[in-house]
Structure 1
């Protein structure tokens, strides 16, 4: 990775021109790439070789000390918060500038500026969803309501921009050199835009697909296949929780005006199945030392540079350490001397779709009740590298932007759907993290969360006074049962949201009797919670495995929590495989391998360790079986979503002869047994192909965990075939492209003990030794000692720099 030949550079450049359709005249001259003083070779130098003792940074009130440990983790010591965040912006840009800018350009719908027309459809979709619009409203909110936070965000931007101003051609990140462009100034707007981008990554909706399913299946069968609660649910907030508040009444219309068409438009991208997170905290009564222990491991795309950047941020009154988000202020998941906190996605449906009826082709007004409301337009100029700009006119209603219309993803002239989303309503998530960073107790934690709107998150908390807590936080619309599950008629005012759940009535718990709090993307509460809560993607396995283990465990140690984060037990397989084997019965395919595979499955202990073959066989058999069950349903030429694996297995176990298993295109009546046998036959075919092409089918070889560069075509900057276990639905949720993007364990005693790791490295430079040095540690389930450092500590120092 450190040294590259001329021909390798040439291959990357020419390949890029072909793959991303960048005109050849836009590619930098080869001579500039291989220039030993300014080109590619300068990016093979690691940061410790470039260290300087002092750096000039304007607008500081006092010098800021930056101490790098042996893993290039910076520890910043500043006199004031403004100095601290100005320095954070500068230091983060030193190591992650290209990543920061690339992600915010993606969030703004500006990727076409970098790679050309291949990204135009992506940019149009991003603009039409209104991410930049939401960030503009966030800026307006800060300008009108919180100038103190705005000043800190602007200080961070000033730090980034001072680094950009000092940046030489030699130190320019290599991605800029290959893609032939330069960084532009940072701004407070970009920091807010980054947080909106996270909302878009984590929120999903299936209104379109559910509307089509309702038309295909009817309401009764739809409810059967997609029940709102599982039979053995174990919610985020313990079922014993008593809701001691008077809920706000929500009025449901007597008749609900749903559009009755089948909609054949392409849905927006959704969070990838298997993406999720875990967090939990155990009370001192369950731990060996009598101290609370908190754990967090958000599961996201495995990318390089890593989504996270580890830092310690200190002033004379506070020291906080953890995972930062390059481009945003403060620590997102971390701890200080008094508390620790972490986040998981709460998977709440906070965006809904409304069919808009325009008065005429001008689209200047739309029907709302008995009136015609005035619409507005926003012309999005999308600059395209090597071509003229593309102008996209987006109509805005009071609901939000009209994403689907006659010009975008619609086959019909009369199809117009507007998106209503909490991201478009002005909020101050940045303040939440600034306050959490210096919080001292449960009261401070709650005050910080009151400023948080989106994306919905489960915030876990622990303090050195012994409190543990969980709060499901976001700005949640008041909805009647079923509202937002299907596309709605925007001409009917009865379909409007009826306000928002008050913050103090969001689902929460403090010091429950069971001695722990936890979340793993499952349903937030049981059915006693007085507000309607819905999402299609609630998790059914990780949460039960986690809660089952936490109930059993006593005398818990930090090492126990590390083991739990790396737990490979496949609860789905433990429940489903006996069902599959029973339904397979005495059936045997005409294959000498069938008995071997079946015996390996029967001998398997349900752990998805990297050397296990049973995990591979189960994955292929189960997926082929589920595909067989729902193949007819998924043949619809309109988008639909298939029932969850959990519901499919439940029906196979309890109602194997149910009519849902019948395949109308085949003769006779099919049962679950038919699909299990068909899935087994398909598994035999798939495995025969696999064994012919590759020498082994152990789980790690089959799964091929890859940590991919943010530009997929830059394969040389990615790390493939990482040898590690885990998988979707497991606590160690490491799949092929998704997994634990950050693991943290904190024990809050008289002295805080903390451990953390992520699959990458501190440097964003592929030529640095600190680019991917954490990956082997992460893959083995090991951790770095992540304790707080004092300003005078001298052990394990890589180098020191003073900003002055």
Structure 2
């Protein structure tokens, strides 16, 4: 069976071209793929079949042992950090080189190099956002300020490059063979670029859409539909927190003149709905064994190869284990002999847009206050497979790169929109994780976080000494109220950020009285926090479910935490469905199909288990109702953001006769009930079609969770229709393409107990038995033993290799 995926991919390729030994257009040469000594046949061997007892790795200070357990998780034992990270680079490249390179090429705007002009606009946007510029600034910052970290990053790169140097055509990943290219050298720059790529995945902004809404709705209308705090705010840092510092003063201009125009450009891609995370830690006073327990499950795209790669890294002074990010040093979410930590996205606005006024068409100078400042030019050379190099000129101002202008995104001569983003500022996030990996206490954890800039993250913490904590960390601009919420005038110095919130003023808590800390991408604080906090994408359901359960629970065990990570109670449905059924009234009362579906909805317990039909029906009905309510917003003709589901449900519940429900283009006055009935009619149509074509509408069959290969059309290397529950807004946030990309639970007792799993496998080779073997375990809410190992522990060894 393991050969099936290869035959399917080859069939697709062969159907595109005759068997030739040279490329035709974008099609790879087929003969090398079929070469039995170098082609895809060589990728059908699993890692244990290729294992060697000894390998030569240059530049080591001493011997390094790599012990693989039965799941192909490597445990690296080295004499010092330089050897450790050199070995980490080498070992990671053995299993994930293509993924590492693909992701950094995407971050660098270089996809066109191997797929052709279809990716040109994507590459242009990536370059114009300044990801490569940000990585260059990061490298310069580390070169000037932290030579020790640079040595470690370069050691990692050396390990990767030593693997590349010995890589034969036979051992190339099948993706290289299909796409017809070879790996290039790794570098410290690429590691930093990968970290900037993560920022781009997790950071969003809605400045341009909010500007349009403000013009359309007015200030009062905007604030009513888009309040900055929900009525039920259960923030990350407990609302009882007393802020014991004197805030930095911020001066708000007496009058604000925003650019008065409707913005017609297409905004940047935002984090995809479903991207989020949970983390929490409970104090020993709430656990059965009296030990703190920490849990973390980042919610990201479900991809193969997985975003994460599990690993243990050990020197004589520390041992750390958890999820690594292929291409970056150390463990990102994990634990050592003293502490555990986990991360979630902090969703704080760190990107702002400015309108630039150039002096003339040459764009060599732009207005700033009463002067004209010189702009700079950055020529982006984009290689395009099968075509000439594309040259893109990007103008840079002190605010940042001019992303949108007459050459990109708009044909208007006066469109010059610059992006200000903390990613463009020199920083050293890599040092944060290097220090966390060997931290021993809360003080070490705090010191490590001081180096962290972007993307903003909620760092949960627990230690064997009994401490639990949470800190929301990033480099956050000092802003007056509503600054950065709307498009700003780049010529007005009053629109500048006024510095940055000091690290010691970032929201944080240690050992709160309630006995737990938690984050689920909700509001970080309550209104008493003395700095302006804003983001459009805060979560409103997972956090309340999580905090409610943690407040109730006592005598907590690791088993309880497993159940909580896999909890698929749909709080939104529990709050909205009774209201919708009530507003539906007797509509369609004589329709047998309607009665059948309503009965299934009434008897549903609000858990989105894979066999549930109520979740499917609610998912369709609620989405159709929300679509009906906000359809006129979608038809405005300019980019806007829609009110979120929490605010929509609140309007349905508390103000069903509100004028917002009236459809201005029709006669009569509509209420919430009209939209609920229209949504139900759409449900009936959708279900008739579904049952005719698909039959079973249980939740797992309806949502069809897919773990997709990084190249979307490599479907044979993906895993489809994974039988599992959960969904958006639930703790088990497993949707069709997003979900818990890594689950970890650590109990910090005298003997640390840890479990973890992710939806994939350690190998990046689709022909390996270790490519997707964790998926059934993950889908069932089960885990792997993740305890720390010593070099003397010889249990469950798959093989071991000495690096000399």
Corresponding residue of 2:293: 293
Match in the other structure for 1:226? 226
CA shift for structure 1 position 122: 0.5
User: Conserved in 1, the CA contact under 8 Å of 2:5 and 2:717?
Assistant: no
Q: State the partner residue of 2:256.
A: 256
Aligned to 1:443: 443
Equivalent residue number for residue 578 of structure 1: 578
1:42 aligns to what SS in structure 2? helix
Say if 2:602 is the partner of 1:569. Answer: no
**Do structure 1's residue 64 and structure 2's residue 64 form an aligned pair?**
yes
Q: Give secondary structure in 1 for the equivalent of 2:702.
A: helix
Q: How does 1:71-220 map to 2 (within 5 A)?
A: 71-220=71-220
CA contact (8 A) 2:29 2:180 kept: no
Cα contact 1:17–1:23 (8 A) shared by 2: no
Asked whether the equivalents of residues 16 and 713 of structure 1 are also in contact (C-alpha less than 8 Å), the reply is: no
- Distance between the aligned counterparts of 2:25 and 2:223, measured in 1? 57
Q: 1:12: Cα distance to partner?
A: 2.9
Contact 2:708 2:715 survives alignment (8 Å): yes
1:176-575 aligned within 5 A: 176-575=176-575
The alignment yields a C-alpha RMSD, in angstroms, of 1.2
SS of the residue 1:707 aligns to: strand
Q: State how far apart, in whole Å, the 1-side matches of 2:61 and 2:489 are.
A: 56
| CA separation of 1:603 and 1:431: change in aligned 2, threshold 3 A | same
Q: Quote the offset at 1:590 in angstroms.
A: 6.2
Aligned equivalent of 2:722: 722
Contact 1:6 1:34 in 2 (8 A): no
Distance 1:184 1:164 in 2: 8
- Provide the rounded CA distance (Å) in 2 between the counterparts of 1:798 and 1:184: 30
Q: Rate the CA distance shift 1:143–1:406 in 2: closer, same or farther, 3 A.
A: same
Superposed CA offset, 1:127-153 (max 9, x none): 000001000000000110000000000
Shift of 1:7: 6.1
Aligned to 2:784: 784
- When structure 1 is superposed on structure 2, of 582-591 and 473-482 the one drifting more is 582-591
Q: Work out whether residues 565 and 731 of structure 1, in 8 Å CA contact, stay in contact via their aligned partners in 2.
A: yes
Contact 2:6 2:716 in 1 (8 A): no
**8 Å Cα contact 1:264-1:411 kept in structure 2:** no
Q: Deviations over 1:706-755 (max 9, x none)?
A: 00000000000000000000000000000000000000000000010000
Matched, 1:803 2:803: yes
* Distance in 2, Cα, partners of 1:632 & 1:517: 41
CA contact (8 A) 2:23 2:29 kept: no
Contact 1:65–1:802 (8 Å) recurs in 2: yes
* Cα distance between partner residues in 2 of 1:620 and 1:495: 43
Structure 2 spans left out of the alignment, 5+ residues: none
Distance 2:590 2:37 in 1: 66
What secondary structure, in the 3-state scheme, does the structure 2 residue paired with 1:24 have?
Answer: coil
User: SS at 2:349's partner residue?
Assistant: coil
Q: Is the 8 A contact 2:26 2:116 kept in 1?
A: no
Question: How far apart, in 1, do the equivalents of 2:7 and 2:684 lie?
Answer: 43
Partner of 1:653: 653
TM-aligned CA distance change 1:112 to 1:609, over 3 Å: same
Q: Secondary structure at the match of 1:378?
A: strand
Shift of 1:4: 4.5
| Deviation of the 1:792 alpha carbon | 1.0
Further displaced range: 203-212 or 407-416: 407-416
Query: How big is each residue's C-alpha offset from its partner over 1:439-463, in whole Å with a ceiling of 9 and x where there is no partner?
Result: 0000000000000000000000000
1:237–1:524 Cα contact (<8 Å) kept: yes
In structure 2, distance between residues paired with 1:630 and 1:9: 42
What's 1:672 paired with? Answer: 672
CA distance in 2, matches of 1:30, 1:267: 40
Is 29-38 or 101-110 further displaced after alignment? 29-38
C-alpha distance in structure 1 between counterparts of 2:330 and 2:312, whole Å: 9
Name the CA shift for 1:671/1:16 in 2 (closer, same or farther; >3 Å). farther
Question: Quick one: distance in 1 between partners of 2:377 and 2:59?
Answer: 40
Kept in 2: contact 1:12–1:714 (CA 8 A):
no
1:499 to partner: Cα distance: 0.4
CA distance in 1, matches of 2:6, 2:188: 40
Q: What is residue 744 of structure 1 aligned with on the other side?
A: 744
In the alignment, is the contact (CA less than 8 A) between 2:64 and 2:77 conserved in 1? yes
- Report deviation, 1:10: 3.7
Match of 1:632 in 2: 632
Tell me if the contact between 2:358 and 2:364 (Cα under 8 Å) persists in the aligned partners.
Answer: yes
For residues 439-494 of structure 1, what are the alpha-carbon distances to aligned partners after superposition, in whole Å with 9 as ceiling and x for unaligned? 00000000000000000000000000000000000000000110111100101110
Distance in 2 (alpha carbons) for counterparts of 1:274 and 1:358? 40
Query: What TM-score, normalized by structure 1, do the two folds share?
Result: 0.99
Give the C-alpha shift of residue 591 in structure 1: 3.4
In 1, the alpha carbon distance for the partners of 2:534 and 2:15 equals 45
SS in structure 1 of the partner of residue 411 of structure 2: coil
Q: Which string of whole-angstrom CA distances, capped at 9 and with x for unpartnered residues, describes residues 207-260 of structure 1? A: 111111111111110000000001111000000000000001111111112112
Do the aligned residues in 2 keep the contact of 1:294 with 1:461 (CA within 8 Å)? yes
Runs in 1 of length 4+ with deviation above 4 angstroms? Answer: 4-7, 14-18
Task: Check 1:590–1:116 CA distance in 2 against 1; reply closer, same or farther (3 A cut).
Answer: farther
- Contact 2:382 2:389 survives alignment (8 Å): yes
C-alpha contact 1:292 1:747 (8 A) present in aligned 2: yes
Q: How does 1:659-738 map to 2 (within 5 A)?
A: 659-738=659-738
The alpha carbon displacement at 1:609 in A equals 0.2
Residue 23 of structure 1 deviates from its aligned partner by: 7.0
Deviates more, 1:306-315 or 1:590-599: 590-599
Give the Å deviation of 1:633.
1.1
* 787 and 580 in structure 1: CA distance in 2 versus 1, 3 angstrom threshold: same
CA-to-partner distance for each residue in 1:670-718, whole Å, 9 max, x for gaps? 1111111111111111111111111110000000000000000000000
Question: Helix, strand or coil for the counterpart of 1:691?
Answer: helix
TM-score by length of 2: 0.99
What CA distance in whole angstroms lies between the structure 2 residues aligned with 1:572 and 1:350?
A: 29
Listed as ranges, the gaps of 5+ residues in structure 1 are none
* Deviation digits for residues 355-388 of structure 1 (CA, Å, limit 9, x no counterpart): 0011111011111111111000100000001111
Distance in 2 between the 1:444 and 1:483 partners? 34
Write the deviation string for residues 733-789 of structure 1: whole angstroms up to 9, x where unpaired. 000000000000000000100000000000000000000000000000000000000
Cα distance between partner residues in 2 of 1:5 and 1:167: 23
Q: 1:513 to 1:682 in 2, by over 3 A?
A: same
Map of 2:42 onto structure 1? 42
Is the 1:589–1:681 contact (alpha carbons within 8 Å) kept by the matching residues of 2? no
1:489-541 deviation digits (Å, cap 9, x = unpaired): 10111000000000000000000000000000000000000000000000000
Instruction: After TM superposition, give the deviation of residue 14 of structure 1 in Å.
Output: 4.8
**Following the alignment from structure 2 to structure 1, what is the Cα–Cα distance between the partners of residues 29 and 606?**
54
Report deviation, 1:16.
7.5
Aligned to 1:218, what secondary structure does the other structure show?
helix
Task: Report the secondary structure of 2:300's partner residue.
Answer: strand
